[in-house]
């Protein structure tokens, strides 16, 4: 790293200010995992194709492997580690557990962050809509039906 590519950035992650000195080319994904030890966010393809690295930026989902950490100065980053409150799992996390919405679990943090955003976006009106708006999150284990069931439950549509 040369000094001319170094930037000082204060990231707000899961409600805490985290000052960092980084190469300006470091992705948000690498900053979270390598600098802040927040390894819940997974690196799958590292090129925007799998969704494993999904986090929320100001409440909207982004692929952290395609987002530069330096662009996140002053913005609110939420990772899977920030979803539980007072030791209680987020309703989406609980629903994934209840519906076995994972097998190996590698895609699960990204799936859950996407699901949280999708519910906030009001995009869970039908199973087709859930599938469409979760289509950027791939699962090698094929846990899709259970993932849809978990999201459907949190959307308040029960079983269909």
Q: Where along the sequence are the contacts to ligand FES (CB under 6 A)? A: 43-46, 48-53, 63, 65, 102-108, 139-141, 143
The separation between CA 108 and the C-alpha centre of its own chain, rounded to angstroms, equals 9
Least Å distance, CB 4 to ligand FES, is 27
Q: Whose Cβ is closer to ligand FES: residue 26's or residue 63's?
A: 63
Q: Whose Cβ is closer to ligand FES: residue 106's or residue 129's?
A: 106
| Strand duo 60-63 + 6-13: pairing | unpaired
Q: Whose Cβ is closer to ligand FES: residue 21's or residue 140's?
A: 140
Least Å distance, CB 86 to ligand FES, is 27
Least Å distance, CB 149 to ligand FES, is 14
What is the C-alpha separation between 11 and 75, in angstroms, rounded? Answer: 7
Q: Whose Cβ is closer to ligand FES: residue 83's or residue 139's?
A: 139
Least Å distance, CB 1 to ligand FES, is 22
123 burial via Cβ count (<10 Å: 0-12, 13-18, 19+): middle
What is the C-alpha separation between 121 and 101, in angstroms, rounded? Answer: 21
Cα-Cα-Cα-Cα dihedral sign, residues 79, 85, 91, 97: positive
Least Å distance, CB 83 to ligand FES, is 18
Q: Whose Cβ is closer to ligand FES: residue 24's or residue 103's?
A: 103
Q: Name which of 8, 126, 23, 125 is nearest 73 in CA terms.
A: 8
């Amino acid at each position: 790293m040369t000094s001319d590519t170094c930037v000082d950035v204060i990231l707000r992650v899961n409600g805490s200010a985290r000052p960092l000195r980084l190469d300006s080319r470091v992705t948000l994904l690498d900053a979270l995992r390598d600098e802040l030890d927040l390894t819940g966010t997974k690196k799958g393809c590292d090129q925007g194709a799998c969704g494993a690295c999904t986090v929320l930026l100001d409440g909207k989902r982004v692929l952290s492997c395609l987002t530069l950490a330096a662009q996140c100065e002053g913005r609110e980053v939420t990772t899977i580690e920030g979803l539980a409150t007072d030791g209680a799992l987020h309703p989406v996390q609980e629903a994934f557990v209840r519906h076995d919405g994972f097998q190996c679990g590698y895609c699960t943090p990204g799936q859950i962050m996407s699901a949280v955003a999708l519910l906030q976006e009001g995009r869970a009106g039908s199973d087709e809509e859930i599938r469409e708006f979760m289509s950027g999150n791939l699962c090698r284990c094929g846990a899709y039906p259970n993932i849809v069931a978990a999201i459907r439950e949190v959307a308040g549509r029960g079983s269909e």
